Structure 1
């Protein structure tokens, strides 16, 4: 039985731990918090997982909340005009529904499951010196803790990292009491509200510790009018600021938010980080090596909602690579190949996300505008959030974008 240590108990670390556990590996998981500390703590993220990522959970039989979480059947895009109008406003339908489960619910539940199934759970923050010791007693050490000292072991990949500074200031509120969008009250959708030159507001239904809720998520261009959450400690003040900005920049969303209240005192989050791709092998002072997982090695901005999706896909890819490797040593070359296998698809997420952070070029604006008249374009764009590799074929090259829109327009009139 091969012994594997996973440091970090988020989407990727826990999914991988449970997957390896089900395959008979002896897995030790290091978490800096107990399940109850996670469950009753502050929200850790936003998350909207699309069908491909959800399927990885189904495959492992750990989709415990699928029947309870709202089914997100569409993805809508609205673009704000200078006068509070919406010159662009449409919704595309997803082929397979998406879902959001508050990570406090999911990670606490998965931690309990891992322990109940006989996994060794060590509740302790890990330092590089700890890993130096552990690397000699385990066949493989995986680092899935995307923040803190351990990330510094992984060198930034300058060729694959477009940005060196944060591109958005992030502010999240989990709320009860949000009304439906009056134009589409019959199904749940993620709403992407683009405010040119200012930032974005994302709204998504979720399952939280107190049941059904919605997430209000501002992404502000640094230094702009949305970059005002730093230093705000009081949750009520955080929500009031969120709503004030909604009233100013997205009045159509504010209209359904006039009666919202926070789900709990831990229902807010603010911060920023630089989107970064890192080299996958971390070197320890004693000569050992460890493999980085998910956002340790590929950290994208949340603007495209891919964080938990990428974490799930990375865990699934790594699980396959580990199992296929059999009893051979997990050396540096294997680590690099394992990461490159994941990067084959992850690179498209990074390319798309980095493109969305920049001011949109004319052909993208034309595409988003055309989606308002052509449901097939809206649907394809929406489903790209499930499988971002599809964007490569029509979204980055202006001539391909134009040809695609023309072909859809022609077929819709014929």
Structure 2
């Protein structure tokens, strides 16, 4: 039986560990926190899992909260602007695209704690301990393969930044999120749940995400602000109540249509807020320990995207699925550096589309992109195709990035009997 060590108990690490466990591998998982510490700790992220990523979880029998989490049927876009003769900020664009298959969001405190307990209950070996490079170097020779799925801290330094694939050298957004109860229904469509991205040009974005947490149905209010701008006002050590008040003040100022249904919200718990910022980067997939042992990077350890395009957890799930298949196919052959690079390349073939899509969202939106978003308000096929691109970002290459292609597609969409082709 081949022995595999996985460091990191997030989406990629735990999904891979449980998948390998189910196929008979001897897996050790290292986490810096226990399930109880994860469950009772601060919220870890925002996340919207689209159909492809959810299918990977379902295939492993890990969809424990599916019947309780909101069924997200649409993805909407609003654009803030001003209208001549009317004071204040208005929605100048507003629509919702239909998802082909529902998306869902589960608080990762629930998910990762539950998955970690499941791994242990099924006989997996869990080591709760922070890991330094020296610790890993001591342990690595005991395993056939070491996978690093921890995207922060000392271990991330094992993987060199790839400048050709990493256009940014500084954080592009300051992040602030709050999980809340009590958000009112959207008046335009109270009959279904939708995740919505509110673009505020020159300021940032507000994502509103229906979710499930320990206390039931919740919504995530997530500001992504340009550094140094009016949203860059959250402090890391801020009191949760102050954080929520600041979130609502900014909603009232920049997205009053969202604030109107948020006047009665309250935090889901005392640990329901989070702030931060980080630099997006793609890193070399193979790290080398001081002893010369190669290790394979997974998920955020090697492809770290800003959450502005909702790709992080989806990309991690797809990474785990690719790595699971590659490890299984390897049989008894060695997991050498060449195999590691080939395995990463197999994942990157899809992950590069998520990174390209995210990087576009981080910059000023090109004129033709804003034109497409405006046109989608009156063209449901365009709105639907844009929404489903979050599940399959490769589709954006076919029509969205190039101004001529986008214009041609929108023109065809205006004709009767238009399809996505």
**TM-score over 0.5 for the pair:** yes
In the TM superposition, what is the alpha-carbon distance from 1:133 to its structure 2 partner? 1.2
Q: Gaps (5+ residues) in structure 2?
A: 83-87
Residues 172-187 of structure 1 aligned to structure 2 (within 5 Å): 172-187=177-192
For residues 248-276 of structure 1, give each alpha carbon's deviation from its aligned partner in whole angstroms, at most 9, with x where no partner exists: 00000000000000000100000000110
Quote the residue 2:274 is aligned against: 269
The answer to whether the Cα contact below 8 Å between 1:151 and 1:296 also exists between their aligned partners in 2 is yes
Q: Describe the SS at the equivalent of 1:170.
A: strand
Quote the residue 2:364 is aligned against: 359
Could you tell me which of 73, 81, 86 is aligned with 2:91?
Answer: 86
RMSD: 1.0
1:341 to 2:355 alignment: no
Counting matched residue pairs gives 414
Quote the residue 2:85 is aligned against: none
Residues 96-111 of structure 1 aligned to structure 2 (within 5 Å): 96-111=101-116
Quote the residue 2:8 is aligned against: 8
In the TM superposition, what is the alpha-carbon distance from 1:233 to its structure 2 partner? 2.0
For residues 80-120 of structure 1, give each alpha carbon's deviation from its aligned partner in whole angstroms, at most 9, with x where no partner exists: 01331111000001000000000000001001100000000
In 2, the alpha carbon distance for the partners of 1:178 and 1:232 equals 25
Change (3 A) 1:112 1:350: same
Q: Describe the SS at the equivalent of 2:91.
A: coil
1:381 to 2:381 alignment: no
In 1, the alpha carbon distance for the partners of 2:383 and 2:247 equals 28
Q: Normalised by the size of structure 2, how large is the TM-score?
A: 0.97
Q: Describe the SS at the equivalent of 1:270.
A: strand
In 2, the alpha carbon distance for the partners of 1:52 and 1:407 equals 28
Quote the residue 2:221 is aligned against: 216
In 2, the alpha carbon distance for the partners of 1:231 and 1:342 equals 34
1:408 to 2:413 alignment: yes
Q: Normalised by the size of structure 1, how large is the TM-score?
A: 0.99
Quote the residue 1:35 is aligned against: 35
In 2, the alpha carbon distance for the partners of 1:268 and 1:308 equals 19
Q: Describe the SS at the equivalent of 1:136.
A: helix
Q: Describe the SS at the equivalent of 1:86.
A: strand
In the TM superposition, what is the alpha-carbon distance from 1:130 to its structure 2 partner? 1.0
In the TM superposition, what is the alpha-carbon distance from 1:135 to its structure 2 partner? 1.3
In 2, the alpha carbon distance for the partners of 1:327 and 1:52 equals 30
The answer to whether the Cα contact below 8 Å between 2:412 and 2:418 also exists between their aligned partners in 1 is no
Quote the residue 1:237 is aligned against: 242
Residues 38-49 of structure 1 aligned to structure 2 (within 5 Å): 38-49=38-49
Could you tell me which of 93, 110, 117 is aligned with 1:112?
Answer: 117
In 1, the alpha carbon distance for the partners of 2:163 and 2:326 equals 26
Quote the residue 1:132 is aligned against: 137
Q: Gaps (5+ residues) in structure 1?
A: none
Quote the residue 1:25 is aligned against: 25
In 2, the alpha carbon distance for the partners of 1:232 and 1:199 equals 22
In 2, the alpha carbon distance for the partners of 1:328 and 1:20 equals 16
The answer to whether the Cα contact below 8 Å between 1:135 and 1:289 also exists between their aligned partners in 2 is no
1:292 to 2:297 alignment: yes
Could you tell me which of 150, 154, 161 is aligned with 1:156?
Answer: 161
1:51 to 2:56 alignment: no
1:143 to 2:111 alignment: no
In 2, the alpha carbon distance for the partners of 1:10 and 1:161 equals 23
1:304 to 2:337 alignment: no
The answer to whether the Cα contact below 8 Å between 2:236 and 2:274 also exists between their aligned partners in 1 is no
Q: Describe the SS at the equivalent of 2:395.
A: helix
For residues 334-370 of structure 1, give each alpha carbon's deviation from its aligned partner in whole angstroms, at most 9, with x where no partner exists: 0000000000000011111101111011110110001
For residues 168-212 of structure 1, give each alpha carbon's deviation from its aligned partner in whole angstroms, at most 9, with x where no partner exists: 000000000000110010000001000000000000111101111
Q: Describe the SS at the equivalent of 1:58.
A: helix
In the TM superposition, what is the alpha-carbon distance from 1:134 to its structure 2 partner? 1.5
The answer to whether the Cα contact below 8 Å between 2:49 and 2:104 also exists between their aligned partners in 1 is yes
In the TM superposition, what is the alpha-carbon distance from 1:231 to its structure 2 partner? 3.9
The answer to whether the Cα contact below 8 Å between 2:181 and 2:268 also exists between their aligned partners in 1 is yes
The answer to whether the Cα contact below 8 Å between 2:171 and 2:277 also exists between their aligned partners in 1 is yes
In the TM superposition, what is the alpha-carbon distance from 1:162 to its structure 2 partner? 1.0
The answer to whether the Cα contact below 8 Å between 1:14 and 1:110 also exists between their aligned partners in 2 is yes
In the TM superposition, what is the alpha-carbon distance from 1:413 to its structure 2 partner? 9.0
Q: Describe the SS at the equivalent of 1:159.
A: helix
Change (3 A) 1:413 1:311: closer
The answer to whether the Cα contact below 8 Å between 1:232 and 1:238 also exists between their aligned partners in 2 is no
1:196 to 2:201 alignment: yes
